[in-house]
């Protein structure tokens, strides 16, 4: 991991309560483990002694000092899962992958771990693979789970493609369509917006297929740039007070012509988006309206 | 000043003193392993437990970390305390039978055997070395790693620490790594025979202390012969 | 930035939101907490979104994606408002049919949950026995709230209690009312919350005070805190705001375990929204009162649920507990006075001040209010159930939970997680209360209720908890580190048929020492699972020791598998056996080579004909 990146991470969490945990977590998210040189750099930058950092890194189960595999299998061994034969699943994974919990396969593909409770006890035994939960897992399912994970859950992406559909969005202020019929992405009119960041302003086009992350833009914005979205027709700002659930940055809220809203994260690179059909129109806008009105 | 009662004796001690300090000041012995006067109290070995409060609502606490509070009633050697202490010593013996300090503790408390799977560990995680290194030597070269049964003490990444000055204070203060009497099988080292009988080596000038380096120690064998 | 800048503005916003809420609009509610997502709720959400948008139904049907409703076993489920129609285990095709029916103001009969005995369909959520006997003071809010929309919470009357108290600003009265409610900590020991707040309020400190929400729900088998965090994050924030008002604290911390990624996301969003609204941060609603909450993720350590370890962890250090005194309220995080309550306790606070302490205290017998339990294990209906304090255990297990899941009877129920104990079936008439449970050797704990049937081996259970505690002990105090290890070894010996009666004596002796001499609650309560199983199921221990038999057929070293005459020769077990120990031809009874068999039980789990016996 390059030192500048670590510096950036440390800088981001400076002064926060419990900053060390957040720093270690960010590093681990980036490298899948905590490399020795990164911990030494953190010690240098934060002034915490290496002994203390190393102690924390080894005390908590979430941190790993060994490189982890591309796919991360956690078998829940909570009480409810235990009484429903979760230990047998650990045996089965051990057998199928040829590694015991805590180890990584020789090819660096799979890491097997056990976890004390994932909190989905009613559906036990639970297996968590790369952020995906499998419930009521039985021994014969293990092989299937491994092969699906190995394939990067491709089948399920295909499933998703089947139910993916184009979103017809309009500007919540002037109600003009935001779909650009001249420019297609994935064979559908793209959602076209104006985006600006620090003086640079230009168009961005996003795939209108729900779930897709395809996009193009006039300027090459670096990932982690916060953009301000505006309507290409009326020019009003679309970024609202609603935070993105993935990164916490504000989202841009677009409206569906028949009601409801689409939230897209304003952090370039986050690409998280969410549909809201709970009848309040665009809550972010509603809030700002009322707050400014009263 | 606060007033506390230790084993029925009412005494006044300075505020901020721990029960252990107060008890020792007034001559009540409390065994300890992880305590050292120059270092901050840690409460890890649990040998210094005492019973506080009044019947029937008493509780057992570690005296090295418990402050002497006004009106506190302390018993340093109640049945409950001794029972706990003996079990702790038995656990220590089961893991680290070769330490002289632990052997002596066992002798003093009449623990002569242990009932668990015998282990031979060279560290009881009392943390004296860690505190020595950070508090007295201001180095922070070694520390605790991991947790539970995987807990260990050492340098980060198990490599020579940049901040270690090789002062040796950690070794000096360790209660577990002094290898002494091991008879011919380590678990028999707690036979207590040498404490109760004349050890064969005590007359030799080279050994001034009770424990000798004779391998094997034959005190127990001598004791058997009339 | 725009935010609400006065109490009147908040009230105006709330009134407007309530006026615009139109509760009669047909709404599809899909619970999509972690358990919902694990069972495929997001596919339903996607289907519903697709249907609504592509058919332009936005004005006719609303969609609300919420946290967990409690009946996790039936997920992915769908609830249709305003009628409250409940559809269990819905697939995308079913979702489309539900929408079609809804447009006709109709119900899809064949997707409803059927009553096993009468064959009648339960139409309404409230009709289901699982829900009918509950008192869902907290959990029912989850159905009404999209956790990502602060407006949903405000619309339900959320933050109104806080704002009212803010207007009067009489800390003493808040604490008095809380004491009157009789609320006790929902995290374990059950200390009076009002007293705790009073202690903090009395601490004078110019540098500030901390309020902590302990969301390090570590008890395996308990997940009610997760469902509140995911489903109703603003109730925690409001609870803490009221706490801040009463105690004069200015800093809040939400410590969430890292195993709950969805809860972390929802809380993060909720905190940002509350800040944007001006309900959190400096100068709340221009009243001059400031309180902000930071979100800290745990890193995977059960012991950090213990108050003093939690504080160390918040400070960014190893989570080692320390002896009290000094108590957190005297010397907590960064040496400042600190008050720690768990999630369910905080979630009760807004409810108390919304309905009033007297009304709250009228619920429950013995203790006041409700308690959420996670009813899991070998029981027919698993999920989260909320019942008034004082409800008999039997009612929870048989009336609400529907009795055993398998063919064999229920033997015991384990409460309180690794610090708790097992309650045998003959004591199921005891009421659920702090004292009631502790009288029989268990504890309330955080609310895990793991049901065990005749196929659960109590030695295996005790051994499981001891293994758990051995791994999770911080290792600082010798008695806990070595004691749990030694107890595990003893139990392991017994489970392997190598036990003797001396093992039992030693277990009991060790238990006493752990109880007395451990530094923190983890070690002090560690022997409970062993002591309670020894107390009620000593016979099972003796069977293992004297007859080298495991009556439940669990302990691998003491059992053997064989195939009986029910075998149809389907080859399923032959294929499933990882050791190749089963031989046989198609349509002929198979047999197991005992020398090769590792007693993994794979054959038994795949057999559809009950043809694999365990001895």
Residue spans of the domains in chain B: they are: 128-173
DSSP A242: E
Other CB atoms within a 10 A radius of the CB of residue C5 amount to 15
CATH number of C150-358: 3.40.50.11540
Q: What is the pLDDT of residue C116?
A: 75
Question: Which other chains touch chain B, taking contact as 3+ CB pairs less than 8 Å apart?
Answer: A, C
Contact between C4 and C37 under an 8 Å Cβ cutoff? The reply is: no
Asked whether the predicted pLDDT for residue B92 surpasses 50, the reply is: yes
DSSP B134: I
Q: Is the Cβ pair A51, B141 closer than 8 Å?
A: yes
Residues of chain C with CATH 3.30.70.20: 560-614
Spacing of C-alpha C113 from chain mean position? 24
CATH architecture label of B128-173: 2-Layer Sandwich (3.30)
Classify residue C528 as exposed, middle or buried by CB count within 10 Å of its CB (0-12, 13-18, 19+). buried
Q: Does B149 touch chain A (CB under 8 A)?
A: no
Chain B nearest CA to C472, separation (Å)? 6
Residues of chain C with CATH 1.20.1440.230: 459-546
**C249 half-sphere exposure, CB direction, 13 A CA radius:** 32
Compute the C-alpha angle B59/B62/B63, nearest 5°: 105
Class of the C560-614 domain?
alpha beta
Q: Which helix or strand (DSSP H or E) is residue B11 part of?
A: strand B9-13
Spacing of C-alpha C266 from chain mean position? 17
CA distance C591 to C613: 11
Considering CB atoms only, which of A36, A49, A59 is closest to B157? A36
CA distance C1 to A269: 24
Contact between C540 and C455 under an 8 Å Cβ cutoff? The reply is: no
- Mean pLDDT for C518-544 is 95
Considering CB atoms only, which of A19, A63, A165 is closest to C50? A165
Chain C nearest CA to A12, separation (Å)? 15
CA distance C82 to A226: 41
Contact between C387 and C431 under an 8 Å Cβ cutoff? The reply is: no
Number of H helices and E strands in chain A, helices first, is: 9, 16
Q: Is the Cβ pair A36, B142 closer than 8 Å?
A: no
C295: helix, coil or strand?
A: strand
Model pTM score: 0.92
Tens digit of pLDDT for each residue in C306-331? 999 999 999 999 999 998 889 999 99
Q: Which helix or strand (DSSP H or E) is residue C6 part of?
A: none
Domain C459-546: which topology? de novo design (two linked rop proteins) (1.20.1440)
Contact between C78 and C98 under an 8 Å Cβ cutoff? The reply is: yes
CA distance C97 to C99: 5
Chain A nearest CA to B22, separation (Å)? 32
Asked whether the predicted pLDDT for residue C420 surpasses 50, the reply is: yes
- Mean pLDDT for A50-59 is 96
Chain C nearest CA to A120, separation (Å)? 5
Other CB atoms within a 10 A radius of the CB of residue C82 amount to 11
- Range C534-545 burial, b when 16+ CB lie within 10 A, else e: bebbeebbebbb
Domain C370-456: which CATH number of 3.40.30.10, 3.40.50.150, 3.10.20.600, 3.40.980.10: 3.10.20.600
- Mean pLDDT for B124-128 is 93
Tens digit of pLDDT for each residue in B98-117? 777 888 888 888 888 889 99
Closest CA to C283 of C9, C11, C6: C6
Q: Where are the beta strands (DSSP E) in B65-216?
A: 73-75, 143-145, 152-154
Question: Which other chains touch chain C, taking contact as 3+ CB pairs less than 8 Å apart?
Answer: A, B
CA distance A280 to C184: 38
Q: Is the Cβ pair C221, A78 closer than 8 Å?
A: yes
Asked whether the predicted pLDDT for residue A215 surpasses 80, the reply is: yes
Q: Is the Cβ pair A258, C58 closer than 8 Å?
A: yes
User: How many residues can be counted in chain C?
Assistant: 615
Tens digit of pLDDT for each residue in B25-48? 999 999 999 999 999 999 999 999
CA distance B5 to B58: 14
- Mean pLDDT for C372-394 is 94
Contacts of A52 in chain B (CB under 8 A): 140, 143
Closest CA to C218 of C319, C324, C315: C319
CA distance B30 to C52: 75
Q: Where are the beta strands (DSSP E) in C465-542?
A: none
Q: Which helix or strand (DSSP H or E) is residue B60 part of?
A: strand B59-62
Contact between B183 and B172 under an 8 Å Cβ cutoff? The reply is: no
A107: helix, coil or strand?
A: coil
- Outline where chain B has alpha helix (H): 19-25, 79-95, 100-108, 128-131, 169-173, 193-196, 219-224
Chain B nearest CA to C391, separation (Å)? 30
Confidence of residue C576 (pLDDT cuts 50, 70, 90): confident
Considering CB atoms only, which of B67, B80, B117 is closest to C325? B67
Write the CA distances from A39 to A28, C50, C331, integer angstroms.
11, 47, 30
Q: What is the pLDDT of residue C462?
A: 95
Asked whether the predicted pLDDT for residue B64 surpasses 70, the reply is: yes
Asked whether the predicted pLDDT for residue A247 surpasses 90, the reply is: no
DSSP C296: E
Contacts of B88 in chain C (CB under 8 A): 478-479, 513, 517
CA distance A89 to A93: 6
Q: Which helix or strand (DSSP H or E) is residue C96 part of?
A: helix C92-103
Contact between C78 and C87 under an 8 Å Cβ cutoff? The reply is: yes
Q: Is the Cβ pair C472, B148 closer than 8 Å?
A: yes
Q: Is the Cβ pair C461, A83 closer than 8 Å?
A: yes
| Mean pLDDT comparison of A197-211, A247-261, C17-31, C240-254, highest-scoring range | C240-254
Chain C nearest CA to B131, separation (Å)? 13
Q: What is the pLDDT of residue B190?
A: 55
What is the predicted ipTM?
A: 0.92
CA distance B208 to B11: 38
**Kind of pairing, strands A132-134 and A179-185?**
unpaired
Considering CB atoms only, which of A56, A115, A279 is closest to C318? A56
Q: Is the Cβ pair B65, C509 closer than 8 Å?
A: no
Contact between C357 and C178 under an 8 Å Cβ cutoff? The reply is: yes
Q: Which helix or strand (DSSP H or E) is residue A256 part of?
A: strand A250-256
Compare all CA atoms of chain B with the CA of C472 and give the residue at the minimum distance.
B148
Contact between A41 and A9 under an 8 Å Cβ cutoff? The reply is: no
Classify residue A169 as exposed, middle or buried by CB count within 10 Å of its CB (0-12, 13-18, 19+). buried
Q: Is the Cβ pair A122, C92 closer than 8 Å?
A: no
3-state helix, strand, coil in chain A (%, to 5): 30, 25, 40
Residues of chain C with CATH 3.10.20.600: 370-456
B125: helix, coil or strand?
A: coil
Confidence of residue C409 (pLDDT cuts 50, 70, 90): very high
- Mean pLDDT for C236-249 is 97
Q: Is the Cβ pair B60, C516 closer than 8 Å?
A: yes
Closest CA to C513 of B55, A30, B87: B87
Taking each helix axis as running N to C, give the angle between helix C528-536 and helix C501-517, from 0 to 180 degrees, rounded to the nearest 10: 140
- Mean pLDDT for C583-590 is 89
Write the CA distances from A292 to A287, C175, C323, integer angstroms.
8, 35, 52
Compute the C-alpha angle B168/B172/B177, nearest 5°: 110
Compare all CA atoms of chain A with the CA of B159 and give the residue at the minimum distance.
A36
Contacts of C24 (CB under 8 A, 6+ apart): C82
Write the CA distances from C560 to B145, C457, C458, integer angstroms.
42, 15, 19
Other CB atoms within a 10 A radius of the CB of residue C126 amount to 12
**Mean pLDDT, rounded, of chain A:** 86
Tens digit of pLDDT for each residue in B171-185? 888 887 654 444 445
Contacts of B141 in chain A (CB under 8 A): 51
Considering CB atoms only, which of C20, C58, C148 is closest to A259? C58
- Cis omega before residue C609 (within 30°)? no
The residues facing C31 across adjacent strands are C66
The residues facing A274 across adjacent strands are A263
Compare all CA atoms of chain C with the CA of A163 and give the residue at the minimum distance.
C47
- Outline where C253-316 has alpha helix (H): 261-277, 307-314
CA distance A267 to A273: 11
What percent of chain C clears pLDDT 70, i.e. is strictly above it? Answer: 100
Asked whether the predicted pLDDT for residue C121 surpasses 70, the reply is: yes
Write the CA distances from C391 to A103, C385, C399, C432, C450, integer angstroms.
46, 12, 11, 5, 17
Class of the C24-81+85-123 domain?
alpha beta
- Determine which of A40-44, B41-45, B73-77, C597-601 has the lowest per-residue pLDDT on average: C597-601
Write the CA distances from C593 to C233, C338, C560, integer angstroms.
55, 62, 10
Q: What is the pLDDT of residue C411?
A: 95
Compare all CA atoms of chain C with the CA of B60 and give the residue at the minimum distance.
C516
Taking each helix axis as running N to C, give the angle between helix C41-54 and helix A154-163, from 0 to 180 degrees, rounded to the nearest 10: 20
- Outline where A32-174 has alpha helix (H): 36-46, 50-59, 79-83, 86-97, 141-150, 154-163
Contacts of C470 in chain B (CB under 8 A): 148-149
The residues facing C229 across adjacent strands are none
**Mean pLDDT, rounded, of chain C:** 93
Considering CB atoms only, which of C72, C265, C317 is closest to A122? C72
Chain C nearest CA to A268, separation (Å)? 18
Contacts of C568 (CB under 8 A, 6+ apart): C587, C609, C611
Closest CA to C465 of A79, A117, A120: A79
DSSP C291: B
Considering CB atoms only, which of C475, C478, C502 is closest to B88? C478
- Outline where A49-132 has alpha helix (H): 50-59, 79-83, 86-97
Asked whether the predicted pLDDT for residue B212 surpasses 70, the reply is: no
Classify residue C240 as exposed, middle or buried by CB count within 10 Å of its CB (0-12, 13-18, 19+). buried
- Mean pLDDT for C125-144 is 93
| Mean pLDDT comparison of A148-157, C36-45, C306-315, highest-scoring range | C306-315
- Mean pLDDT for C144-155 is 93
Tens digit of pLDDT for each residue in C76-89? 999 999 999 999 99
Confidence of residue B123 (pLDDT cuts 50, 70, 90): confident
């Amino acid at each position: 991991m390059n030192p500048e990146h670590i510096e950036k991470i440390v800088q981001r969490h400076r002064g926060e309560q419990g900053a060390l945990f957040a720093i270690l977590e960010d590093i681990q998210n980036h490298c899948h483990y905590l490399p020795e040189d990164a911990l030494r750099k953190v010690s240098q930058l934060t002034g915490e002694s290496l002994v203390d950092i190393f102690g924390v890194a080894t005390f908590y189960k979430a941190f790993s000092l060994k490189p982890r595999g591309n796919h991360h299998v956690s078998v829940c061994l909570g009480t409810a899962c235990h009484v429903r034969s979760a230990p047998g699943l650990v045996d089965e994974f051990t057998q199928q992958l040829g590694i015991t919990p805590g180890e990584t396969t020789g090819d660096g593909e799979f890491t097997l771990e056990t976890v004390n409770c994932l909190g989905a006890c009613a559906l036990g035994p639970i297996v968590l693979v790369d952020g995906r939960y499998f419930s009521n897992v039985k021994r014969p399912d293990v092989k299937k789970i491994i092969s699906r994970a190995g394939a990067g859950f491709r089948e399920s992406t295909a499933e998703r493609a089947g139910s993916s559909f184009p979103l017809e969005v309009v500007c919540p202020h002037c109600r003009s369509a935001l779909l650009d019929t001249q420019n297609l992405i994935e064979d559908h009119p793209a959602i076209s917006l104006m985006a600006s960041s620090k003086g640079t302003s230009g168009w961005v086009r996003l795939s209108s297929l729900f779930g897709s992350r395809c996009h193009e833009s006039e300027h090459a914005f670096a990932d982690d740039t916060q953009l301000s979205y505006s309507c290409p027709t009326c020019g009003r700002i679309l970024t609202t007070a609603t935070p993105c659930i993935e990164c916490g940055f504000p989202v841009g809220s677009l409206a569906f012509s028949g009601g409801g809203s689409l939230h897209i994260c304003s952090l370039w690179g986050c690409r998280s988006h969410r549909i809201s059909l709970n009848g309040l129109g665009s809550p972010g806008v509603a809030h700002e309206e009322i707050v400014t009105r009263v | 000043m606060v007033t506390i009662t230790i084993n029925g004796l009412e005494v006044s001690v300075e505020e901020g003193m721990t029960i252990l300090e107060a008890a020792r000041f007034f001559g009540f012995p409390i065994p300890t392993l992880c305590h050292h006067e120059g270092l901050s109290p840690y409460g890890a070995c649990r040998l210094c437990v005492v019973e506080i409060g009044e019947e029937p609502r008493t509780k057992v606490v570690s005296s090295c970390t418990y402050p002497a509070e006004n009106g506190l009633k302390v018993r340093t050697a109640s049945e409950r305390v001794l029972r706990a202490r003996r079990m702790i010593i038995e656990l220590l013996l089961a893991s680290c039978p070769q330490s002289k300090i632990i052997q002596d503790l066992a002798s003093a408390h009449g623990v002569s055997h242990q009932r668990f799977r015998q282990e031979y560990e060279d560290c009881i995680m009392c943390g004296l070395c860690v505190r020595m290194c950070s508090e007295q030597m201001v180095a922070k070269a070694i520390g605790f790693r991991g947790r539970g049964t995987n807990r260990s003490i050492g340098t980060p990444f198990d490599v020579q620490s940049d901040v270690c000055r090789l002062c040796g204070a950690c070794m000096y203060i360790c209660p577990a790594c002094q290898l002494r009497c091991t008879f011919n099988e380590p678990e028999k080292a707690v036979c207590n025979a040498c404490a109760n009988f004349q050890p064969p080596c005590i007359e030799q000038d080279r050994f001034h202390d009770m424990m000798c380096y004779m391998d094997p120690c034959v005190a127990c064998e001598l004791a058997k012969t009339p | 930035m725009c935010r609400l800048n006065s109490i009147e503005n908040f009230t105006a916003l709330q009134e407007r939101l309530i006026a615009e809420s139109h509760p009669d609009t047909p709404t599809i509610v899909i619970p999509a907490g972690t358990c919902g997502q694990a069972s495929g709720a997001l596919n339903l959400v996607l289907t519903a979104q697709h249907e609504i948008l592509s058919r332009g139904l936005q004005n006719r049907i609303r969609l609300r994606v919420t946290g967990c409703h409690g009946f996790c076993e039936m997920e992915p489920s769908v609830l249709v408002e305003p009628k409250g129609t409940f559809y269990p285990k819905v697939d995308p095709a079913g979702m489309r049919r539900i929408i079609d029916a809804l447009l006709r103001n109709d119900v899809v009969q064949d997707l409803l949950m059927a009553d096993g005995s009468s064959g009648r369909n339960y139409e309404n959520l409230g009709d289901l026995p699982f829900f009918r006997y509950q008192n869902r003071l907290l959990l029912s809010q989850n159905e009404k709230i999209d956790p990502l929309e602060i407006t949903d919470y405000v619309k339900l009357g959320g933050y109104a209690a806080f704002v009212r108290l803010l207007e009067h600003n009489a800390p003493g009265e808040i604490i008095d009312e809380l004491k009157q409610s009789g609320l006790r900590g929902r995290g374990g020991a059950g200390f009076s919350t009002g007293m705790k707040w009073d202690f903090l309020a009395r601490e004078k400190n110019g540098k500030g005070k901390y309020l902590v929400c302990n969301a390090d729900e570590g008890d395996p088998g308990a997940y009610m805190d997760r469902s509140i965090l995911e489903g109703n994050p603003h109730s925690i924030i409001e609870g803490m705001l009221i706490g801040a008002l009463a105690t004069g604290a200015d800093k809040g911390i939400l410590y969430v375990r890292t195993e709950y990624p969805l809860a972390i996301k929802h809380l993060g969003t909720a905190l940002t929204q509350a800040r944007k609204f001006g309900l959190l941060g400096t100068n709340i609603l221009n009243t001059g009162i400031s309180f902000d909450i930071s979100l800290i993720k745990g890193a995977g350590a059960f012991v950090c649920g213990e108050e003093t370890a939690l504080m160390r962890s918040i400070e960014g250090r190893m989570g080692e507990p320390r002896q009290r005194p000094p108590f957190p309220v005297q010397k907590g995080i960064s040496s400042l006075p600190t008050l720690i309550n768990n999630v369910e306790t905080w979630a009760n606070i807004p409810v108390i001040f919304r309905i009033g302490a007297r009304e709250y205290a009228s619920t429950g017998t013995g203790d006041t209010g409700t308690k959420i339990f996670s009813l899991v294990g070998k029981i027919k209906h698993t999920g989260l159930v909320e019942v008034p304090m004082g409800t008999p255990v039997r009612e929870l297990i048989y009336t609400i939970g529907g009795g055993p899941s398998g063919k064999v009877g229920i033997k015991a129920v384990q409460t309180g997680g690794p610090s708790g104990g097992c309650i045998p079936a003959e004591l199921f008439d005891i009421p659920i209360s702090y004292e009631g449970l502790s009288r029989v050797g268990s504890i309330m704990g955080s609310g895990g209720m793991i049901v065990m049937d005749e196929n659960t081996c109590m030695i295996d259970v005790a051994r499981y908890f001891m293994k758990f505690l051995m791994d999770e002990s911080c290792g600082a105090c010798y008695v806990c580190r070595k004691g749990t290890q030694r107890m595990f070894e003893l139990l392991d010996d017994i489970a392997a048929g190598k036990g003797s009666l001396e093992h039992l004596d030693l277990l009991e002796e060790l238990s006493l020492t752990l109880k007395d001499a451990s530094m923190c609650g983890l070690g002090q309560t560690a022997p409970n699972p062993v002591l309670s199983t020894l107390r009620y199921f000593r016979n099972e221990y003796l069977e293992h020791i004297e007859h080298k038999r495991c009556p439940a057929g669990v302990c691998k070293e003491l059992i053997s598998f064989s195939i009986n005459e029910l075998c149809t020769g389907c080859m399923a077990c032959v294929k499933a056996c990882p050791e190749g120990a089963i031989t046989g031809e198609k349509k002929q009874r198979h047999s197991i080579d005992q020398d090769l068999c590792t007693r993994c039980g794979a054959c038994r789990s795949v057999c559809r004909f009950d043809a694999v016996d365990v001895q």
